[in-house]
Amino acid sequence: MKISTETVRRLSAGDEDAFNETYYTYARLIHYLAYTLVKDRGAAEDLVQEAFVKMYENIGKLSDPNRFQAWFITMAERLALDHLRQMKRDPTQNAVELTAELVDAGPDYVPERFDFNGILPPFENHVVNLKIVHRMTFRDIADMTGKTMSVVTKAYYDAVEKLKKQYRKGAL
């Protein structure tokens, strides 16, 4: 689930089709990452838009088109972390946004992710979501998380074994 280096070059040149391809390739992943960090659907949606604007404004600074995915994901994560810092400084804004999210979400809202908290440690839960929901390769997950590929692969297969055990017990 990567865009080609040619698409990155076209994106850098301002090609609208390249932007659309990039958006459709990465929007769900960026939303998942933002939602995982901020736990707020509305804020996550806003952060997706901010991430794409910032990416488009800064694409010319990317020196290696092969590193686009890691560069863009890092940028989006930093935006989400900045948002969290801002919410800590102004907690009343956080309460207003949470209330709006609950009203807008409705009873059937389900984020685009699996939530195995309580069954899996956070890192394993994150790896499972990136691998299954967002169809990322182990190499891409390793690049994104800063872990080695063997650590990511082990985390994934450990998580799968834990989920199998829970399923056999009838807990899933």
- What token pair was written down for 160? 């799968």
Domain locations along the chain? 1-112, 114-172
State the pLDDT at residue 99.
45
State the pLDDT at residue 60.
92
State the pLDDT at residue 110.
42
Query: Which residue stretches of the chain have pLDDT < 70?
Result: 1, 89-114, 117, 172
State the pLDDT at residue 107.
47
Please name the CATH architecture into which domain 114-172 falls.
Orthogonal Bundle (1.10)
The 10s digit of each residue's pLDDT in 157-172 is 898 888 888 878 877 6
**What is the residue type of 37?**
L
Instruction: Check if 1-112 and 114-172 are the same fold.
Output: no
State the pLDDT at residue 172.
64
Torsion of CA 81, 84, 88, 89, to 10 degrees: 70
State the pLDDT at residue 57.
92
Phi-psi category of residue 93: left, alpha or beta, with phi > 0 → left and psi -120 to 50 → alpha? alpha
State the pLDDT at residue 132.
80
CATH number among 1.20.1510.10, 2.40.33.10, 1.10.1740.10, 1.25.40.10, domain 1-112: 1.10.1740.10
